[in-house]
Structure 1
Amino acid sequence: MSPVIKVAAAQVGPVHLTSTKEEVLERLLILFYTAVAQGAQIVVFPELTLTTFFPRHMFPNGPELDKFFEKGDIAESSLMKPLFDAAAEKKVDFYFGYAELTSDGKHYNSSFYYSAALGKIISRYRKVHLPGTFEPFTKPDAINQLEKRYFLPGDLPFDAFRAPGLIKGAVKGGQSVDGSTIGKGDPILGQLICNDRRWPEPWRVYGLQGMELMLIGYNTTSHSPELWGSRKPMTLEEEYKEVMFHHKLVMQANSYGNSCFSVCAARAGADDGKWGMIGGSCIIDPQGHIIAEANTDDDEVVVAEIDLEDCRQGKEKIFDFDRHRRTEHYGRIVEQTGVKEPELLP
C-alpha cells in the first residue's frame, strides 16, 4: 500500500448579504467538480460556507437571524442534497462548515466530515473558541465580531477519526501491525473551525490521538482594529499582511508541533464590496512547510498530494510524545483559564 492521498482546499470568494444559499451552493459545486477533476479525494470547504459572515452584523433573535442557520440535521437538508449526491457519485469526501440550529433551539458554528465510502457523515464538530464580543462596539463604524452573541461554545470533544476508502490496502482492525499505525491504517483526521486554529490545546489533543491530517475552514477579517488592536496605526495593506502572517504562522507551527498535514479553506474577499476577508487557503506538511496555497481572494481550488508516511519522522523522533512529554508539569494548562501573575517584587 502507498499512504498517498490528494487533498483540496475549496476557497470561496465574496458572499453578500443579498446572496442566496442556492446561489452559493452552485459555486460550491463548481469548486467541488474542479477539485475532483484534479484528483482530489478530500475537499475542504470554509467556515459558515453557505452565507456571508453574518456575525459582523447586528440581528435580533428570531427569523432575521435564523435564516443564516441550517435547522435540524444537515444530512437531511434538501439544500445540501446536490453536494451530497455529487460526493457520493464521485466517491470524494468533504469537510463543510455551517451555522447549525439544533432541533432544541441551540445555535452553533459547526462543521462535519462526509465519507463517500460510507455514504454518510462520520464526524461532527462545533467551534469551541468563539472570538469577539457579545455586545457590539459603540463606535458607529467599528468592525464587529458577534459570535459570542450568536453561537454557543461547542459541546463536542476533540475526537480524531479514521476516514475509510482513501488508501488501498490500509491496515484494518484485527490485522497485526508492528508499532504505530501511522501511514499504515486508514488516515487519522481531526477538524477545527477558524479561531480554534490559533489555540495549541486542541491541536495537541488531536495530536495525542495520532492525527495525520487536520481540516480547518475559516472566515478571518482583514480589517478589525477594535478586535485586535495595534500600538501603531496600520494601512489596510499592512493590516492585511499582518493578519495573513498570523494565519499562516499558527497553521505552520501547529502542523509542525503535531507532525501532521493540514488543509485550511477560507471564505475570502470583500463581502458587499467593503467587508474584507483574507484568503490564504493552503496545504501544509508535517515540517510546517506550505506546499500549496491560494493566489487570490476569490473562488479558487488549491490541491496537493500528501504522503502520510511523512508524519512519521516528527511523531517518532522530535515529538515522540510517549518518550518526551512530561504531564506532571502541565497541570496549569487545564486548571487555569485567565492569567495569574507572580507577586510584585518588594
Structure 2
Amino acid sequence: MSMVKVAAIQMDSQNDKQENIKKADSMIREAVLKGAELVTLPEYFNFIGEEKEEEENAEYIESGETVVFLKNIAKELNVWLHGGSILEKVDGNEKYYNTTLFINKNGEVVSAYRKIHLYDVEINNGPSHLESKTKNFGTEIVVSDTDFAKIGLTICYDVRFPELFRLQALEGAEIAIVPAEFTLFTGRDHWEVLLRARAIENQLYVIAPGQIGNKPAFQSYGRSMIVDPWGTVIATSSDKESVLISEIDLAYLRGLRKQVPSLSNRRPEVYNITKVGGVKV
C-alpha cells in the first residue's frame, strides 16, 4: 500500500468526559466516511479539566470506558485508530501516565506509549505548568507496526526532543504522530517549525492532531497539521474543531530517502562529545 488517507481530528475537549467521547465518536465516523484509513485524536481528547477532577476521570488502559469506546469503534469501522492520549491510572501510584493507545482494525490495542517528556516549564509573561506534579514519566520509545507503515508514537512536548524522533526513524518509522495540547503562547512561534523540522530531518510524515480552545491551564493553539517528509505542510486545520484529511504517499517518502540518504549518511562513530574541538594542528 503506497497511498494512505489519514485524518487528524482537532477538538476542544473540556471536563465532560461523556460529551467529549460523544464528539469524538461523531468526528471519527466523519473521518472514515471521508475515506480515512488511519484516524488520529488529540492529546487528552476525552478529558481536560482541573487537577482535582483527574482522579475520577483517569482510567485503567485494560478496561476503562474510553479504551472500550476506542476498541469498539475501531473494530466497527474497520480503521486504524490512534487514541490521542488519556490519563492512565496505575494501582499503587498516586500519579498518572499521559498515555497513547494505538488500535488496529480488529479493535485490538497493538501499542501503548507513555509520554516521556513532561511539560515542566515556566515562561516569563507566559504559561507556567508542572506536568510532572501529577504525571509519571514514560520510559519506553515505541514504534508500532501497521499493514502499511511503521509509526512512531509521541505526545505534544516530545516534539522538542529530536533524538526521540531520530531513534524512531532508525527503527523504521515512516510516520510520526504528535497528538497535542500545545499552548497558544508557544504554538504561534514554535508549533509549525518544530513539526516541519522533525519531518525534514527524519524524512517522515508527521500527523499532528491538536486541541483548540480555552482550557483550565492555558489556551490551546490548535492548527492541527499533516507535514510531508520534505517539510511541506500538506494540510492545516482552521481555528475551530475539525476533521483534517490528507493522502500520504509512502512511495514518495521511500524514494526521497534514496535520493537524499541522510539517515544512512549518519556518522555515529564520531558522535562523541569528547571529540568536540576539531583537529589539532
Same fold judged by TM-score > 0.5? yes
Write out aligned runs for 1:3-42 (5 A): 3-15=2-14, 19-42=15-38
- 2:138 matched residue in structure 1: 154
Contact 1:24 1:51 in 2 (8 A): yes
Q: Secondary structure at the match of 2:20?
A: helix
Who is 1:109 aligned against? 98
Paired with 2:266 and 2:215, the residues of 1 have a C-alpha distance of 44
- The Cα shift of 1:20 comes to 1.8
Determine if the alignment matches structure 1 residue 95 to structure 2 residue 72. Answer: no
Aligned to 1:189: 151
Of the three residues 275, 278, 296, the one matched with 2:221 is 278
Mapped to 1, the partners of 2:54 and 2:107 lie a distance apart of 31
Deviation at residue 320 of structure 1 after TM alignment: 4.1
CA deviation string 1:126-170 (max 9, x = no partner):
11111225xx99x9x9743120211121122x2322113xxxxxx
Q: Deviations over 1:56-75 (max 9, x none)?
A: x5x5xxxx5422421x2x24
Distance 1:202 1:142 in 2: 26
Q: Give the conservation status (yes or no) of the 8 Å contact 2:13–2:45.
A: no
- Identity of aligned pairs, percent? 25
Contact 1:132 1:147 in 2 (8 A): yes
Q: Could you tell me whether the CA contact under 8 Å between 1:257 and 1:319 is conserved in 2?
A: no
Paired position in structure 2 for 1:265:
209
* Contact 1:31/1:299 (<8 A) preserved: no
In the TM superposition, 1:283-302 aligns within 5 A as 283-296=226-239, 298-302=240-244
Letter in 2 for 1:300: S
| Residue identity matched to 2:69 | P
Paired residues for 1:330-341 under 5 Å: 330-332=271-273
Whichever residue aligns with residue 175 of structure 2, its letter is L
Partner SS for 2:65 = coil
Once residues 82 and 276 of structure 1 are traced to their aligned partners in structure 2, the CA distance between those partners, rounded to angstroms, is: 27
The aligned amino acid for 1:154 is G
Runs (4+) of structure 1 exceeding 3 A deviation are 141-144
Instruction: For residue 200 of structure 1, report the CA deviation from its aligned partner.
Output: 0.6
Counterpart secondary structure, 1:76: coil
Which residue, out of 309, 316, 321, partners 2:263?
Answer: 321
Q: Cα RMSD over matched residues?
A: 2.5
Partner of 1:120: 108
SS at match of 1:310: helix
Distance 2:48 2:65 in 1: 20
Q: Distance in 2 between matches of 1:41 and 1:132?
A: 35
Say if 2:38 and 2:81, in contact at 8 Å, map to a contact too. Answer: yes
Amino acid at match of 1:7: V
Are the counterparts in 1 of residues 13 and 47 from structure 2 also a CA contact under 8 Å? no
Distance 1:14-1:122 versus aligned 2 partners, 3 A rule: closer
How many pairs were matched up? 274
Q: Assess if the C-alpha contact under 8 Å between 2:70 and 2:81 holds in 1.
A: no
Q: Runs of 5+ in structure 2 lacking a partner?
A: none
**Contact 1:314–1:320, Cα closer than 8 Å, also in 2:** no
TM-score, normalised to structure 1's length?
0.73
Q: TM-score, normalised by structure 2?
A: 0.89
After superposition, the Cα gap between the structure-2 partners of 1:53 and 1:329, relative to the gap in structure 1 and judged at 3 Å, is: farther
Contact 1:259 1:319 in 2 (8 A): no
- Map 1:46-85; keep pairs closer than 5 Å: 46-52=42-48, 54=50, 59=52, 64-70=53-59, 72=60, 74-85=61-72
Give the secondary structure class of the aligned counterpart of 1:151. Answer: coil
Work out the CA distance in 1 between the residues paired with 2:165 and 2:66: 32
